[in-house]
Chains A and B, each alone.
Chain A
Amino acid sequence: MEPSAPGNLRCFSKKKRDLTKPVNVFHSTGDGMNAYMAYKVSTQTTLPMFRSKMFTVRRRFSDFLGLYEKLLDKHAQSGYIVPPPPEKSIMGMTKVKVGKEDNSSAEFVEKRRAALERYLQRVVCHPSLLQDPDVREFLERDDMPRAHSTQALSGAGFLKMINRATDAVSKMTIKMNESDVWFEDKLLEVEAEDQQLRKLHIMVESLVGHRKELSVNTAGFAKSVAMLGSSEDNTALSRALSQLAEVEDKMEQLHQDQAASDSFCLAELLADYIRLLGSVRASFDQRMKTWQRWQDAQNMLQKKRETEAKLLWANKPDKLQQAKDEITEWEAKVTQYEKDFDRVSSTVRKEVLRFEKEKARDFKKQIIKYLESLLQSQQQVEFWTLVCIHNRLFHTFF
């Protein structure tokens, strides 16, 4: 059973290249807890670095996590914002594995599929990450070795590990001499936005819950009104009540659709960006680390110079040469680390600007999609209410 992906996310780029990546789902034939969901990743491209123009591979969820870990290992230190995959969810997956064929598991599978698709889209839209051979291998290679290390750590677990390390760094009372106020302000902005997005996400989830509840209660009400209509002995009123019951039935469906839209368009978008903001903060922390390393090197150089001075005073010529060598070594390191810091700073800055542009595009697109679905719902409401007014109520009563 291969449901088709409802929509491909295209990645905007100034270069004339085409890289589309729908992610489809198909179930494997394992049983019980050993069963796993395999995802069909299809790529269409004109880029010369790939072996063919169209190809499909099967990947498991842990493979996606494995890709993320590899990219993180290689690129995080340079200050890149490495897009994070969706979190592992023991609850969700267990229900699906146990073969629970109900709405909530279908919803979960679809949400995960779409989230994985968006994840890959973000990776390939990143000009530097796309060049990484691991990315190419992930998209192309038919048989990939299982990513075992991810069994211990979910994507979220990994992120948490990073955040904890960076928190430790910030807790060391380093006062960066912020020559560039931009970074300080930007970080505050990111943290404030993160806080608000989390709040918003909780509220949207609450809305989804209440709309689902409304849908169920509307269905109950519709049945009740139908019963009332059938026992009403005035024929005209009885017909009007049956009509009301029919309309409420339609409303039930509309509420459900609206809840799905709230969830898929809004809640998922917010969840993505909450995770992404985590990656942004991680990149800021990387910059902090490189600064720290540079400072530490400068301190070490200072110590070596002091040692040299002491040796000169004590007149120990044999140890003096070693001291001079160490000074040269550390001078080189200081220069290198300063260059690294500048490089990482500039990368982080570029990355943040690119991220913000992408975020604005993403939000605009999703918000338009969401509002259009709301519009459609309301048009349905208008239609059914008009039917109610013009058809039954007028004819039976007036």
Chain B
Amino acid sequence: FLSYLLFGHGINVDLQTDATLQVDISDALSERDKVKFTVHTKSTLPNFKQNEFSVVRQHEEFIWLHDSFVENEEYAGYIIPPAPPRPDFDASREKLQKLGEGEGSMTKEEFTKMKQELEAEYLAIFKKTVAMHEVFLCRVAAHPVLRKDLNFHVFLEYNQDLSVRGKNKREKMEDFFKNVVKSADGVLVAGVKDVDDFFEHEKTFLLEYHNRVKDASAKSDRMIRSHKSAADDINRIASTLYTLGTQDSTDVCKYWTKLFPLFSKLSKIEARVAADEDLKLADLLKYYLRESQAAKDLLYRRGRALVDYENANKALDKARAKNKDVLQAETSQQVCCQKFEKISESAKQELIDFKTRRVAAFRKNLVELAELELKHAKGNLQLLQSCLGVLKGDT
């Protein structure tokens, strides 16, 4: 039932809904410190025992699947769909806890209202994390090669716990050093000029694009946060107007009672505007930040393979010159050549597909965002005009 969120997000528009393999997250349960996703599969492929089945998975198992793709040499020539971000309810939980602690210091109405707001916030974060995990699975299912992966099938079908515990401290340290080495290496590899114009252009483009998406994502988050704060303020103003309306018996009282519903509705619209920006703009930018990183990783792997190929060529020349271990050098060179060519071939198509997906997603989201903003502006206008009409007509 949550698959509407995928298309609501519009992050990956061009995914073919293929009858041979359809994956979605049909249910999710939030427990104290983990989220349990119900992964539901419908497939006509012979690999699976049944045509329709469900399993329960946690975030760490998604990460395991993602990492297994990254570490698989066979997939070096593909853009690995970015891993979904870890579900983060810490901030929301902290707020709910603080509310519970402060229960004694506020009225019953205030408490109920705040509780409802915080619960709605929690629900929104929850829906988002489900959508992010679902998008990952759908990307894999839509990919012509990755969808055949054995680990993926195990992930979908095996109805026991995959027993992939989270990384321990030592493994995390190893990852850290691996990343340091990789980024140093990446700089070296990036420095190598590519003969192929297509890839040379892509390299330059992706580097700049990735950095700018990162900046745009950060700036959009900041803007949306301010917007939410302003909406909250308007809401609080509405509450105070309500109190003033109930306790005042003077002539000015009627203005309070007219303003309270106006501000209340205006605050809801502002909150919706911020929420729509979050969904259509912020999430979009965040996703393409991760995907552009995955594309960069692909280019890195190809660059690495190119360097290895060139080194193998040099080694072969040396061996021939010395007439020592020539056969070994020849085989090594052939392996490198094949690897490089295989990656190059698939990488080109992957990068073209990436562009197509990106353009379509941006188009969809920008158009939808503009339409929503128009709707909200019209809503605001109607509220303001009607309230002004009442106030002015009143003698």
Which of A's residues lie within 8 Å of B, judged by CB?
A: 189, 192-193, 196-197, 199-200, 203-204, 206-207, 210-211, 213-214, 217-218, 220-221, 223-225, 227-228, 231-234, 236-237, 240-241, 244, 356-357, 359-360, 363-364, 367-368, 371-372, 374-375, 378-379, 381-382, 385-386, 388-389, 393, 397
Contacts and interface: CB of A to CB of B under 8 A. Distances in A.
Contact of B233 (A193, A207, A375, A397): A207
Contacts of B173: none
B374 A360 contact: no
A225 B255 contact: no
Given A214-B226, A360-B255, A221 B248 contact: no
B209 interface: yes
Given A224-B215, A231-B209, A210 B366 contact: no
Contacts of B230: 207, 210-211, 214
Contact of B223 (A207, A218, A241): A218
B94 interface: no
Contact of A217 (B223, B243, B378): B223
B219 A385 contact: no
B244 A193 contact: yes
B240 A200 contact: yes
Contacts of B394: 364
Nearest to A386: B374
B371 A375 contact: no
Nearest to A206: B233
B131 to A, nearest CB: 23
A80 B243 CA distance: 29
Contacts of A382: 374, 377-378, 381
Given A356-B250, A372-B388, A393-B366, A232 B209 contact: yes
A196 B226 CA distance: 25
26 contacts: A200-B241, A207-B234, A210-B229, A210-B230, A213-B226, A214-B226, A214-B227, A217-B223, A221-B223, A224-B220, A225-B216, A228-B209, A231-B205, A237-B363, A241-B362, A360-B252, A364-B255, A371-B387, A374-B384, A378-B377, A378-B380, A381-B373, A382-B374, A382-B377, A385-B370, A393-B367
Given A359-B250, A378-B380, A203 B219 contact: no
Contacts of B323: none
Interface string B240-278: 110110011111100100010010000000000000000
A67 to B, nearest CB: 27
A375 B381 contact: yes
B208 interface: yes
B370 A210 contact: no
Interface size classification for chain B: 35 or more
Contacts of B366: 240, 244, 393
Contacts of A356: 250-252
Given A224-B216, A363-B255, A382-B381, A189 B229 contact: no
A227 B388 contact: no
Contacts of B250: 189, 356, 359-360
Contacts of A214: 223, 226-227, 229-230
A221 B216 contact: yes
A389 B363 CA distance: 11
B222 A221 contact: yes
A192 B362 CA distance: 52
Nearest to B207: A231
Contacts of A393: 363, 366-367, 370
Contacts of A192: 247
B384 A397 contact: no
Most buried by A among B215, B366, B385: B366
A231 B212 contact: yes
A189 B246 CA distance: 11
A224 B216 CA distance: 5
Contacts of B213: 228
Contacts of B262: 371
B384 to A, nearest CB: 5
B8 to A, nearest CB: 19
A223 B218 CA distance: 12
Contacts of B373: 381, 385
Contacts of A233: 205, 355
